[in-house]
Amino acid sequence: MNKPTIAVSIGDLNGVGLEIALKAHKEISTFCKPVYCINKTMLLQATTLLHVTIPEDFTLHEVAGDFQIKAGQVDVQSGLYAYDSFMSAVALCETQKAQAVVTLPIHKEAWMKAGLEYKGHTDLLRKHFNKEAIMMLGCQKMYVALFTEHIPLKEVAKSIQYKKLKQFFLDMHHSIAKASIAVLGLNPHAGDNGVLGQEELIITKAIKSANKKIGFEQFVGPIVPDVAFSPHFRNNYNYFVAMYHDQGLAPLKALYFDESVNISLNLPIIRTSVDHGTAFDIAYKGKAKTLSYVNAVQSAIDLTNR
């Protein structure tokens, strides 16, 4: 069987991304052909700092750039290079030279200082493809999709709008066609029938309308948020929709921090990522773990085989 080609975006070179790629290269090469979006100059500088050699089969896709790596620091040049690496990986998929993109972590502040308008990979993909990409994180034991992502908490309630939420459910259905999906409410006790908030009325309406169009009751809820991730629900549901970032990701990371991945749904390309940041505090110290990255690569391959 031919191994799929995976374009690897190397992330912020001041963080742990490239260390992870190098550590995991031998393992992931057993089930895919990784192509790393970085040039030889920057790779040599990073491997010198890490005191490791470059594997002989470490295939590069040239991304222009030559700057000083500053381990553990927010830097404009490193932020811009992470962006260029990512867009090069996306282009490999768009030209069908790779079957999926796997991304190593960027630093959002570095992107901002570099003048980039995007809050992260998912936001960039959403605008690049003019598609409503869905951010879903997790592992085989539990996946959580986020209705709102990187917005202030005070803006979440007003973001829960019927048409947007219904379309979110329909878009998610197109990527996950058969599994039952539990939808969390926003308020304590899922609003207690309007006593603690009205947003659940909107969520309920969107669920019913989406299920009607889908043809079966795929979306269930709204579920009381403080019990949604209890063993009872996790034994019955593998997929969840959270109304905001920390509502879904705090329990996910408490349960499956090291093994979770980030998956972008509802796009014309496959993109997965590690579910952690640049870890500047341990950059170039040889301490970075590879499990999330290996799982991200495996998830990308699984998606290519659907």
Give the pLDDT band (50/70/90) at residue 304.
Answer: confident
**Do the Cβ atoms of 272 and 241 come closer than 8 Å?**
no
Give the pLDDT band (50/70/90) at residue 245.
Answer: very high
Cα distance between residue 53 and residue 32, in whole Å: 21
Domain ranges of the chain: 1-131+269-306, 132-266
Do the two domains 1-131+269-306 and 132-266 of this chain adopt the same fold? yes
Cα distance between residue 182 and residue 186, in whole Å: 13
CB neighbours of residue 212 within 10 Å = 11
Give the pLDDT band (50/70/90) at residue 101.
Answer: very high
CB neighbours of residue 305 within 10 Å = 7
274 membership: H or E segment, kind and range: strand 271-274
Class of domain 1-131+269-306: alpha beta
| Residue 283, token pair as written in the block | 């950059």
Residues 6+ apart with CB under 8 A from 301: 4, 6, 31, 32, 100
Give the pLDDT band (50/70/90) at residue 289.
Answer: very high
CATH level 2 (architecture), domain 132-266? 3-Layer(aba) Sandwich (3.40)
**Do the Cβ atoms of 296 and 303 come closer than 8 Å?**
no
Name the 3-class secondary structure at 101: strand
Please state, rounded to an integer, the average pLDDT across all residues of the chain.
95
